[in-house]
């Protein structure tokens, strides 16, 4: 009873707020202060640029960052994770919302806030109900293709700002054509500012990730605008931002619009969970405990909910910002709260300081982000080692670039799932042979000659048994049985069968019947999975086979039931 109470108390403690601040002491202040200031310096230009990428005023990005940081500090578990506006998901919802409302309009802003609430609710519930496995729905090749497609979207959307051209809307391919047509109108001052900021960030990253290069570049670009009066030379600037805080409230969206947002919310929620899980696992707790991905889902999901209530958009975990917190000595989420306070002060009271920030500078920041999320090393490695999976990268990338972006993401998720199922559908039962002088049964190959007992067939199936491969299992094992002469015993080596569903159970029963029709005994060995063992009982297979013919090893089965053994003739009937 005391043990149960203790376990219950531990479980309750894992869900209490401010877990990411537990154990904090004054000695951690220096590390958190340094990390918080650095994080703010990096987040200010990044959040402004990301908001602009989505068609929002720059200060909306500040409020999204504050909401993400505050909510994660309250409800998340990871001590370093930074949540806020993110360039991975911003093109997703911007593209989806642009199909319903005009970018930047009040209707567009209301839809974005409602979408943030929906995404936040989905991600939070996934954490509460411990659905962290959803984060594994996207394979590495599909994720790489997804990020490559997003990178192309970012580059195309920011080229007009970088070149000083009019902003274009519509499909990506059409926008590329418009940019190419207007290249002769490029403003050299805008291009110089944008490339200058890009160069500063690019070079600084190779020196130290702790350098707030984006902020330095933005400040220098702003000073250049003032010093050389570049506004009168065609350089577009942000203009003074409104001071003050947004009022909380529910976004005013009718039921039809909310219903239209559901598919987009599902797609974005999956992407958020994948990135949050990857970030959480990459920056494990300092006390060496396993990362609590589900609790981090709750923290990031709560950030989107709070962001939506203040009229901003969905937030996501940021691997680069999280790395900065870890590398600059952050000890807890207090560093995120310090950064949020600085960003909030700038957004609420410092709008005038940003009036002369050139749009090209923000475009330069996003250009760096775009090239940063292109995983060239993964491209090369997959091409060398798995050319079939390289096709997944290309198909996903092309789908996201050419098709509506949410359609491309849906195709990527579908490809990832099909790729995961593909291996199971192609699995065939194989005959095993005994490694000479050992009790090991192994697939015969070029490097090892195996031994087989006369009248005995040892077969294995190296995948879970499910509806996708049930027929292949039944036909394959039946063919092995039919091909064996004077067969007396069939042993199914089941160490790799971790699950059995209803369809597969019926196929297994049919195979047992076929084996017995041939006059052989059917036995099962090494079924180690508890789920598979439970399935044997649930579907009546254990009773059909007979518990005395379910063994811990293949050798034990052969010694007990091999040709000439007393129990070999004793069989139960199959209904």
Reported as a single tens digit per residue, the pLDDT across 184-223 is: 899 999 999 999 999 999 999 888 877 888 889 999 999 9
Residue 575 CB contacts under 8 Å (≥ 6 apart), including other chains:
540, 544
Select the more confidently predicted residue: 14 or 342: 342
DSSP state at residue 358? B
Q: Does the pLDDT value for residue 264 go beyond 80?
A: yes
Q: What is the pLDDT of residue 1?
A: 43
Is it the case that residue 364 has pLDDT exceeding 60?
yes
pLDDT at 3 over 50: no
In this predicted structure, what is the pLDDT of residue 422? 81
The residue with greater pLDDT, 516 or 449, is 516
Of 392, 142, 136, nearest in space to 281 by CA:
136
Per residue in 80-110, pLDDT (tens digit) is 999 999 988 998 898 889 888 988 899 999 9
Q: Is 287 exposed, middle or buried (0-12, 13-18, 19+ CB in 10 A)?
A: exposed
Specify the pLDDT at position 493: 94
- pLDDT score recorded for residue 136: 78
* pTM, two decimal places: 0.79
Residue 553 neighbours by CB under 8 Å, 6+ apart = 439, 525, 526
**Residue-level pLDDT at 199:** 94
E strand segments, 354-484: 430-431, 433-434, 441-442, 456-460
The pLDDT value recorded for residue 289 is 65
Q: What is the DSSP string of 183-230?
A: GGG--HHHHHHHHHHHHHHHHHHHH-TTS-HHHHHHHHHHHHHHHTTG
Contacts of 545 (CB under 8 A, 6+ apart): 512, 522, 523, 524, 536, 572
For 63-88, the pLDDT digits (tens) are: 999 999 999 999 999 989 999 999 88
| CA dist list (Å): 464 to 426, 468, 469, 505, 515 | 12, 10, 9, 11, 21
| pLDDT of 565 over the 60 cut | no
**Residue from 395, 394, 371, 399 nearest 383 by CA:** 394
Is it the case that residue 32 has pLDDT exceeding 60?
A: yes
Distance CA 465, CA 496 (A): 9
Q: How confident is the model at residue 355 (pLDDT cuts 50, 70, 90)?
A: confident
224, pLDDT greater than 50: yes
Confidence at residue 307, expressed as pLDDT on a 0 to 100 scale: 97
List pLDDT tens digits, range 291-309. 889 999 999 999 999 999 9
| Phi and psi angles of residue 458, each rounded to the nearest 5 degrees, phi first | -110, 115
- Is the per-residue pLDDT at 19 higher than 90? no
Of these ranges, 1-5, 350-354, 410-414, the one predicted with the greatest mean pLDDT is 410-414
Identify the residue with better confidence: 40 or 413.
Answer: 40
Cβ neighbours of 449 (radius 10 Å): 10
Residue 95, pLDDT score: 87
Please answer whether residues 126 and 269 qualify as being in contact, where contact means their C-beta atoms are separated by less than 8 angstroms. Answer: yes
Q: Tokens 């877990």 — which residue?
A: 19
| 438-476: pLDDT as tens digits | 778 888 765 555 667 788 999 999 888 999 999 999 999
How many CB atoms neighbour CB 419 within 10 A? 16
Residues near 86 by beta carbon (within 8 Å), at least 6 away in sequence: 50, 275, 315, 316, 317, 318
pLDDT value, residue 9: 43
User: What is the overall mean pLDDT for the chain?
Assistant: 86
Average pLDDT of span 354-363: 90
- At residue 262 the predicted structure's pLDDT band, cuts being 50, 70 and 90, is very high
SS3 of residue 164 by DSSP: coil
Which of these, 75, 138, 50, lies nearest to 318 by C-alpha position?
50
CA–CA dist 484, 490 (Å, integer): 10
Give one word for 574, left, alpha or beta, with left for phi > 0 and alpha for psi -120 to 50.
Answer: beta
Residue 179's CB is within 10 A of a number of other CB atoms, namely 18
């Amino acid at each position: 009873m005391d043990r149960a109470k203790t376990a219950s108390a531990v479980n309750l403690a894992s869900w209490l707020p401010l877990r990411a601040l537990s154990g904090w002491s004054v000695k951690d202040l220096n590390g958190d202060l340094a990390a918080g200031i650095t994080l703010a310096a990096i987040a200010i230009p990044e959040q402004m640029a990301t908001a602009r990428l989505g068609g929002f005023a720059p200060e909306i990005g500040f409020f999204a960052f504050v909401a993400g940081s505050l909510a994660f500090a309250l409800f998340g578990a990871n001590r370093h994770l930074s949540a806020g506006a993110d360039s991975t998901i911003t093109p997703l919802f911007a593209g989806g919302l642009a199909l319903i409302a005009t970018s930047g309009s009040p209707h567009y802003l209301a839809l974005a806030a409602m979408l943030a609430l929906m995404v936040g609710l989905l991600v939070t519930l996934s954490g509460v109900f411990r659905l962290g496995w959803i984060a594994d729905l996207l394979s590495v090749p599909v994720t790489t293709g997804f990020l490559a497609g997003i990178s192309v979207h970012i580059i195309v959307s920011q080229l007009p700002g970088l070149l000083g051209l009019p902003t274009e809307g519509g499909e990506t391919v059409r926008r590329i054509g418009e940019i190419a047509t207007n290249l002769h109108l490029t403003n050299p001052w805008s291009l110089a500012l944008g490339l200058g900021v890009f160069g500063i960030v690019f070079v600084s990253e190779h020196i130290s990730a702790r350098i707030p290069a984006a902020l330095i570049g933005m400040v220098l670009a702003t000073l250049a605008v003032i010093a050389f009066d570049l506004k009168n030379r065609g350089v577009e600037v942000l203009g003074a931002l409104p001071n003050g805080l947004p009022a909380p409230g529910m976004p005013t969206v009718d039921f039809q619009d909310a219903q239209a947002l559901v598919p987009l919310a599902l797609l974005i929620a999956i992407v958020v969970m994948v990135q949050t899980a990857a970030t959480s696992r990459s920056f494990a707790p300092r006390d060496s405990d396993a990362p609590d991905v589900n609790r981090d889902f709750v923290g990031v999901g709560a950030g989107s909910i709070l962001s939506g209530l203040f009229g901003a958009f969905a937030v996501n975990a940021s691997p680069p910002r999280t790395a900065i917190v870890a590398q600059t000595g952050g000890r807890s989420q207090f560093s995120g709260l310090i950064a949020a306070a600085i960003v909030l002060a700038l957004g609420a009271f410092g709008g005038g300081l940003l009036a002369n920030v050139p749009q090209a500078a923000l475009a330069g920041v996003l250009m760096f982000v775009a090239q940063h999320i292109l995983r060239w090393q993964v491209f090369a490695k997959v091409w060398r080692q798995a050319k079939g999976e390289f096709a997944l990268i290309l198909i996903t990338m092309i789908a996201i670039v050419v098709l509506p972006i949410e359609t491309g993401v849906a195709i990527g998720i579908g490809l990832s799932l099909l790729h995961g199922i593909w291996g199971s559908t192609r699995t065939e039962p194989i005959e095993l042979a005994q490694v000479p002088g050992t009790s090991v049964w192994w697939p015969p190959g070029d490097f090892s000659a195996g031994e087989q007992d006369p009248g005995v067939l040892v077969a294995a199936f190296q995948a879970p048994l499910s509806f996708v491969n049930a027929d292949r299992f039944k036909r394959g094992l039946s063919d092995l049985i039919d091909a064996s002469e004077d067969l007396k015993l069939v042993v199914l080596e089941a160490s790799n069968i971790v699950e059995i569903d209803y369809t597969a159970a019926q196929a297994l029963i049919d195979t047992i019947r076929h084996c017995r029709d041939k006059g052989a005994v059917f036995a099962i060995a090494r079924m180690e999975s508890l789920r598979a063992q439970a399935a044997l009982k649930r579907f009546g297979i254990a009773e059909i086979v007979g518990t005395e013919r379910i063994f811990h090893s293949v050798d034990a089965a052969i010694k007990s039931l091999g040709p000439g053994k007393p129990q070999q003739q004793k069989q139960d009937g199959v209904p």
